[in-house]
């Protein structure tokens, strides 16, 4: 049975991430704070300042190299981290007639994919978030 991990600051559920994701997201000066052989999680609360945590340690959003798309609603925050394709660029592309991921990527010229585990703070593909952002751009 898997135990649900909760954020030490806000008590929201954490989403497990790979160690390689954590190491690629944390700033150089904070890497020494990583506890070896610990399972790390990302805090799922958009209003919490914790980015990653484990049983005996946590990092804040100030300790990582990029903004987390669900913790920062700014237009300059990446949605597709592999291409550094921002929320604002996606919305702009939609306003200019793009309706699909392929169309947005072609319009922006940003179509690098496949490095999600080291580029995306969740360590996962952005496809669903990308699609949701396209839908929000239509509003």
Q: Set out the domains of the chain in order of their start, with CATH numbers.
A: 14-63 (2.20.25.270), 78-137 (1.10.10)
pLDDT tens for residues 57-78?
999 999 999 999 999 999 999 9
Residue 4: band (very low, low, confident or very high) from pLDDT cuts 50, 70, 90: confident
Residues comprising the chain, all counted: 139
pLDDT tens for residues 112-138?
999 999 999 999 999 999 999 999 998
Evaluate if residue 1 carries a pLDDT over 80. no
Identify the pLDDT of residue 9: 97
pTM of the model: 0.92
- Rounded to an integer, what is the distance from CA 14 to the centroid of its chain? 13
Reduced 3-state DSSP string for the chain: CCCCCECCCCCCEEEECCHHHHHHHECHHHHHHCCCCCCCEEECCCCCCEEEEECCEEEEHHHECCCCCCCCCCCCCEEECCCCEEHHHHHHHHHCCCCCHHHHHHHHCCCCCCCHHHHCCCCCCCHHHHHHHHHHHCC
Burial of 60 per CB tally in 10 Å (0-12, 13-18, 19+): middle
Residue 3: band (very low, low, confident or very high) from pLDDT cuts 50, 70, 90: confident
Return d(Cα 71, Cα 86) in angstroms, integer.
Answer: 14
Span 108-114, mean pLDDT?
95
């Amino acid at each position: 049975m898997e135990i649900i991990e909760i954020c030490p600051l806000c008590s929201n559920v954490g989403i497990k991430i790979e160690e390689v994701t954590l190491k690629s997201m944390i700033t150089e000066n904070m890497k020494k704070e990583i506890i070896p052989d610990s399972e790390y999680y990302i805090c799922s609360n958009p209003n919490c300042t914790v980015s990653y945590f484990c049983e005996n340690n946590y990092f804040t959003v100030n300790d990582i190299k990029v903004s987390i798309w669900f913790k920062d609603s700014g237009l300059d925050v990446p949605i597709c981290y592999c291409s550094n394709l921002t929320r604002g660029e996606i919305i702009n592309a939609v306003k200019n007639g793009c309706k699909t991921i392929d169309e947005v990527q072609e319009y922006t010229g940003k179509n690098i994919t496949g490095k999600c585990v080291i580029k995306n703070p969740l360590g996962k593909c952005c496809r669903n978030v990308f699609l949701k952002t396209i839908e929000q751009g239509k509003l």
